Amino acid sequence: MKISSSDLPKIAGRHQCVYIACHSNPDMDSVSSAWALKTYFESIGIKPKLICVDPIPQDISFLLDASSIALVDPINNKELFSSDDLLVLPDIANWMVFNGETDEYDPGCKTLRIDHHNKGRLSADYEIVEPESSSTCEIVFGVFEQLGFAVDKLLANVLLAGILTDTGAFVYSNATAQTFKACSKLIELGADKESLMFNLFKCIEPETYKLLGVLASSLQVFDEGFVMTTSTYNEISKLPLAGKSAYIDGIIQTVSKTNFGVRVSEKEPGVLYVSFRSRFPALVDVSELAASLGGGGHKAASAVKLKMEFNEGVEYLKSACREFAKKYEIPTK
Ligand SMILES: [Mn+2]
């Protein structure tokens, strides 16, 4: 059920315990929006619990204290939530994104989804879903403005960090006039753009660039008009410090004469993390491609996780991408 910002306090107040989930393999938008929502709920006397199925990346520590985010195992712990609880799902469109494993999941409590992903397979009890927003942090900031919740300097920094990373520092097509307005207000509220840019984009581990070398050497352009890079578990495991960088997925959407790019990473043996990036998001909707394989995301950026042996998975993806690519004319530049 679609709700408005003003419904939030009474919905949260109805429940015994409020949980706020970061998604599996959490990024800045996930952790920042979850942390921001926790700050709001605390301001109205609710003490939510932050949870995540994966550890929070160390590189977020410059921004916020993630030590209160509890590591949970919702698949094996069926008693995690009681029927009186509310589970808040920021930046989460599918149960697989929440639990890291499967869409076949029922938390056994009420759910509230606040998200900017379209084509979500998860139907929550309460929803604030805005696919036109750049990031969940942009939505959350809009919610705070409507609620009249005062955003201090720390919170402004946290929200701006989520927007900056989800837009690739405004490079991606999801950065709209509304996004710039929100960022302008956040900077006026005290967000330190220069410090964020330094910490987010100028503190890259050298191994990240070595990983880029692995990706560049595997890069293959297909006649159907797409590009693919692959990295095996063996290659990735030698570079444990290679962080998540916007630049890494960025390269697959910049190759001339292609419509979209694919990055295949075997992060665990037999588990392929696949990112899709559209070069023409208004025309080539890679969320369709991801959805056809069981994943999801946006027109410009989507993903799927496949449990397949590396070579078999890569061949499977090549044929799915070839089929999808046939729908589009190959760009002249
Ligand atoms: Mn996001």
8 A C-beta contact, residue 134 and residue 163:
yes
In angstroms, the CA 38 to CA 267 distance is: 31
SS3 151: coil
Phi-psi label, residue 170: left if phi above 0, alpha if psi -120 to 50, beta otherwise = left
pLDDT digits (tens, 9 = 90+) for 80-127: 999 999 999 999 999 999 999 999 999 999 999 999 998 788 999 999
> How is the beta sheet containing 70-71 ordered, strand by strand?
70-71, 49-52, 18-21, 86-90, 110-115, 126-129
For ligand 1, the distance from its centroid to the CA atom of residue 134, given in whole angstroms, is: 7
Q: What percent of the chain has pLDDT over 70?
A: 99
Q: Decide which of 154, 181, 200 is a domain's last residue.
A: 200
Strands 271-278 and 301-306, bridge-based pairing: antiparallel
Q: How confident is the model at residue 173 (pLDDT cuts 50, 70, 90)?
A: confident
Q: Rounded mean pLDDT of 172-197?
A: 96
Q: Rounded mean pLDDT of 223-251?
A: 87
In angstroms, the CA 96 to CA 94 distance is: 5
For ligand 1, the distance from its centroid to the CA atom of residue 47, given in whole angstroms, is: 24
For ligand 1, the distance from its centroid to the CA atom of residue 172, given in whole angstroms, is: 13
Residue 246 sits in the same domain as residue 155: no
Q: Rounded mean pLDDT of 217-227?
A: 97
Q: What is the CATH number for 161?
A: 3.90.1640.10
Q: Is residue 332 part of a domain?
A: no
For ligand 1, the distance from its centroid to the CA atom of residue 247, given in whole angstroms, is: 16
Residue 88 sits in the same domain as residue 130: yes
pLDDT of 318 over the 90 cut:
yes
Strands 49-52 and 70-71, bridge-based pairing: parallel
Q: Indicate the pTM of the whole model.
A: 0.86
**How confident is the model at residue 262, as a pLDDT?**
97
**How confident is the model at residue 5, as a pLDDT?**
97
Q: Decide which of 171, 200, 229 is a domain's last residue.
A: 200
Which residues in the chain belong to E strands, given as ranges?
A: 18-21, 49-52, 70-71, 86-90, 110-115, 126-129, 220-222, 226-231, 260-268, 271-278, 296-297, 301-306
For ligand 1, the distance from its centroid to the CA atom of residue 301, given in whole angstroms, is: 10
Residue 194 sits in the same domain as residue 211: no
For ligand 1, the distance from its centroid to the CA atom of residue 258, given in whole angstroms, is: 25
Q: Decide which of 184, 200, 216 is a domain's last residue.
A: 200
- Domain enclosing residue 270, as ranges: 206-325
pLDDT of 279 over the 70 cut:
yes
Residue 188 sits in the same domain as residue 63: yes
Q: How confident is the model at residue 205 (pLDDT cuts 50, 70, 90)?
A: confident
For ligand 1, the distance from its centroid to the CA atom of residue 135, given in whole angstroms, is: 5
pLDDT digits (tens, 9 = 90+) for 4-28: 999 999 999 999 999 999 999 999 9
pLDDT digits (tens, 9 = 90+) for 146-160: 999 999 999 999 999
For ligand 1, the distance from its centroid to the CA atom of residue 28, given in whole angstroms, is: 8
Q: Is residue 331 part of a domain?
A: no
> How is the beta sheet containing 226-231 ordered, strand by strand?
220-222, 226-231, 260-268, 271-278, 301-306, 296-297
* Contact partners, residue 122, CB within 8 Å, separation at least 6: 89, 92, 93, 94, 95, 98, 103, 111, 113
How many domains does the chain divide into? 2
Q: Is residue 333 part of a domain?
A: no
Residue 212 sits in the same domain as residue 250: yes
Residue 106 sits in the same domain as residue 181: yes
Closest C-alpha among 71, 116, 59 to residue 89: 116
For ligand 1, the distance from its centroid to the CA atom of residue 223, given in whole angstroms, is: 32
Q: Is residue 80 part of a domain?
A: yes
Residue 70 sits in the same domain as residue 187: yes
8 A C-beta contact, residue 63 and residue 95:
no
Q: What is the CATH number for 286?
A: 3.10.310.30
pLDDT digits (tens, 9 = 90+) for 68-77: 999 999 999 9
Residue 53 sits in the same domain as residue 138: yes
**How confident is the model at residue 119, as a pLDDT?**
73
For ligand 1, the distance from its centroid to the CA atom of residue 332, given in whole angstroms, is: 32
For ligand 1, the distance from its centroid to the CA atom of residue 32, given in whole angstroms, is: 10
For ligand 1, the distance from its centroid to the CA atom of residue 323, given in whole angstroms, is: 28
The backbone torsions φ and ψ at residue 107, rounded to the nearest 5 degrees and listed phi first, read -70, -15
Q: Is residue 155 part of a domain?
A: yes
For ligand 1, the distance from its centroid to the CA atom of residue 288, given in whole angstroms, is: 18
For ligand 1, the distance from its centroid to the CA atom of residue 137, given in whole angstroms, is: 8
Residue 195 sits in the same domain as residue 210: no
For ligand 1, the distance from its centroid to the CA atom of residue 188, given in whole angstroms, is: 23
Mean pLDDT, all residues of the chain: 94
For ligand 1, the distance from its centroid to the CA atom of residue 49, given in whole angstroms, is: 20
Beta carbons within 10 angstroms of residue 97's beta carbon: 27
In this structure, what is the dihedral angle of CA atoms 275, 276, 282, 285, given to the nearest 10 degrees?
A: -110
For ligand 1, the distance from its centroid to the CA atom of residue 29, given in whole angstroms, is: 5
Q: Is residue 191 part of a domain?
A: yes
Enumerate residues with CB within 5 Å of ligand 1 (an ion).
Answer: 29, 91, 135-136, 166
Residue 166 sits in the same domain as residue 310: no
For ligand 1, the distance from its centroid to the CA atom of residue 166, given in whole angstroms, is: 6
Residue 231 sits in the same domain as residue 313: yes
**How confident is the model at residue 201, as a pLDDT?**
87
The residue whose two tokens read 């090549």 is 318
For ligand 1, the distance from its centroid to the CA atom of residue 22, given in whole angstroms, is: 11
pLDDT of 199 over the 90 cut:
yes
For ligand 1, the distance from its centroid to the CA atom of residue 159, given in whole angstroms, is: 11
Q: How confident is the model at residue 271 (pLDDT cuts 50, 70, 90)?
A: very high
pLDDT digits (tens, 9 = 90+) for 45-58: 999 999 999 999 88
pLDDT of 59 over the 90 cut:
no
CA distances from 316 to 203, 290, 319 (A): 36, 13, 5
**How confident is the model at residue 247, as a pLDDT?**
67
pLDDT of 246 over the 70 cut:
no
Residue 144 sits in the same domain as residue 227: no
For ligand 1, the distance from its centroid to the CA atom of residue 26, given in whole angstroms, is: 10
Closest C-alpha among 145, 147, 110 to residue 11: 110
